[in-house]
Amino acid sequence: MPDLHSGGRGFKSRPVHFANWKVEIYSQNNNYSQKNGDVTEVGMTIAEKILTAHSPKQRAVAGEFVEAKVDWAMVHEELGTPNGVAHLFESLGYEKVWNPKRIVALLDHWVPAPSVDAAEIHKTCRQFVKKYGVSNWFDMNAGICHQIMPEQGFVCPGELIVGTDSHTTTYGALGAFSTGVGATDMTVVFATGKLWFKVPETIKYTISGKLPKFISGKDIILRILKEIGTDGAVYKAIEYYGHTVKQLSIDGRMTICNMGVEAGAKAAIVPPDQKTTRYVKARTKRAYKIVKADKDAEYIEKRDLEISNLEPQVAKPPTPANSVPVTEVENTPIDEAFIGSCTGGRLEDLAVAAKLLKGKKTAKNVRFIVIPASYEIFLEAEKKGIIRTILEAGGIIESPTCGPCTGGHLGLLAADETAIATVSRNFVGRMGSPKAKVYLASAATVAASALKGKITNPNTLG
């Protein structure tokens, strides 16, 4: 099955210190501050501003429920699964979708179909988009939904986007409020173009320090998850700030927003800057409005992370929050190394892997699988010689799809096998047998490990 995602404001209390972190915890006070008996409104976060702009309310504050108009609805195979969106939509007797031009439908989890069941799901998807005139339809020749949405110009700053996948939080990298919803909620959106939201409280992360060699967005988000855990941001938004975030490419920003949901976040957002506008303008001529938080916006928490001395991170099974420096798990034997997925198959990931692989051969005991996140990435990587380098090193290239990330196909694990992968989750049974083990890491660490046949620090290779 596809990977689905299923109060007040505050005043500063006291700082709490962790290694490399400072956390300011806030208590609840309904979005107002009080001084000398006078009550005044405080500023708004990005999440509050976007939800306000999309609802009839003059001011939507954390804890309130709002009915908001959606800009875009993204759906993958959940459209055609049994009891999925298509089934629910038609069983309720709807005759048309709210706006066929504002729905983006595609196939990515099981492409090409590896089973009869998957083929039937694909068939249902194709029939639905044809029947209801969904114009933004991507069949098997596009890529993974969370790459296709921004890449094809369906994401702009300030927009409100929902998708039938928990990692829809990815689009916050471009300053949008984007979140995952289930089939029932998506059916409501298909019919009305609207959905109820509880306005989330927001955590502010300030990440500082020059990026060390081979440190990427994946390493940073794994370090964040170690500190806050898999439930540290449940139904909250995360805003990422700081010099390090500005250094990150759009690819890197997508990764830290993508995996914000691994802490339970409802949305994860990077405030737009010049990198954002360049990326967006290259992909769409649609008008948009940049939304930034007010200087006096109130946050439920503020956290600081300094990464100048950060080592490459590896998340041990069975959760993404079980992260440690690579030196703590070095030399762990592996059977498979996988670079791909919506959080590790972008051009930046393939390029750093090729740099490490150039002129070398992967270990004979390792299956090294690489799946670009989209055909645009695939073609650009081929043009730059990246694909040839990977193949010459002993890698296997597959066409863009989620593949083994969700336990679908193209590289599943047998019992007692171990993989290191750029995927977003390493839960029990995630990539195959429940008796297998999955370690999460950046593309650089995965490539280095493929060369040595064991978990390896990429800094030891050059």
CATH number at residue 306: 3.30.499.10
Helices (H) and strands (E) in the chain, counts: 13, 22
Spans of the chain below 70 pLDDT: 1-40, 462
Laid out side by side, the sheet with 72-75 consists of: 136-138, 103-106, 72-75, 160-163, 177-180
Domain edge (last residue) among 310, 328, 354: 310
* pLDDT score for 11: 26
Question: Which of 276, 310, 344 is the C-terminal boundary of a domain?
Answer: 310
Report the first-to-last Cα separation within the chain, whole angstroms. 40
Give yes or no: residues 41 and 148 share one domain: yes
Domain C-terminal end among 281, 310, 339? 310
Give me the pLDDT at residue 38, please: 43
Measure the CA angle with vertex 441, ends 306 and 168; round to 5°: 85
Closest to 251 in 3D by CA, of 275, 283, 224: 275
Q: Which two tokens stand for residue 55?
A: 């609802």
Residues 382 and 255 grouped into a single domain: no
| DSSP helix/strand/coil, 150 | helix
Q: Decide if 348 is inside a domain.
A: yes
Q: Say yes or no: 179 and 325 in one domain.
A: no
Q: What angle do CA 150, 270, 240 make, to 5 degrees?
A: 145
pLDDT at 274: 96
- Are residues 207 and 296 located together in one domain of the fold? yes
- The Cα-based distances of 321 to 189, 219, 310, 427 in angstroms read 32, 12, 16, 11
Asked if the structure places residue 108 within a domain, the reply is yes
What's the length of the chain?
462
Q: Do 293 and 327 reside in the same domain of the chain?
A: no
- The total number of structural domains that make up the chain: 2
Cα–Cα distance, 128 to 250 (Å, whole number): 33
Q: pTM, whole model, 2 decimals?
A: 0.90
Classify residue 315: in a domain, yes or no.
no
CB 445 within 8 A of CB 421: no
d(CA 170, CA 177): 9
Residues 350 and 120 sit within 8 Å (Cβ to Cβ):
no
3-state SS assignment for residue 14: strand
Q: How much is the pLDDT for 41?
A: 73
CA 324 to chain centre: 21
Same domain, 101 and 178: yes
Q: Is the residue at 449 inside a domain?
A: yes
Domain that holds residue 406: 320-460
Q: Strand 136-138 relative to strand 323-325: parallel, antiparallel, unpaired? A: unpaired
Same domain, 280 and 137: yes
* 44 and 2 together in one domain: yes
421 and 439 in contact (C-beta within 8 Å)? yes
Q: Is residue 246 located within the same domain as residue 140? A: yes
Same domain, 282 and 405: no
Q: Note the pLDDT tens digit of each residue in 36-93.
A: 444 457 899 999 999 999 999 999 999 999 999 999 999 999 999 999 999 999 999 9
Q: Which three-class secondary structure state does DSSP give residue 256?
A: helix
Question: Do residues 271 and 393 both lie within one domain?
Answer: no
Residue 357 within a domain: yes
What is the structure's pLDDT at 52? 97
Contact, 314 vs 216, CB < 8 A? Answer: no
| 341 shares a domain with 264 | no
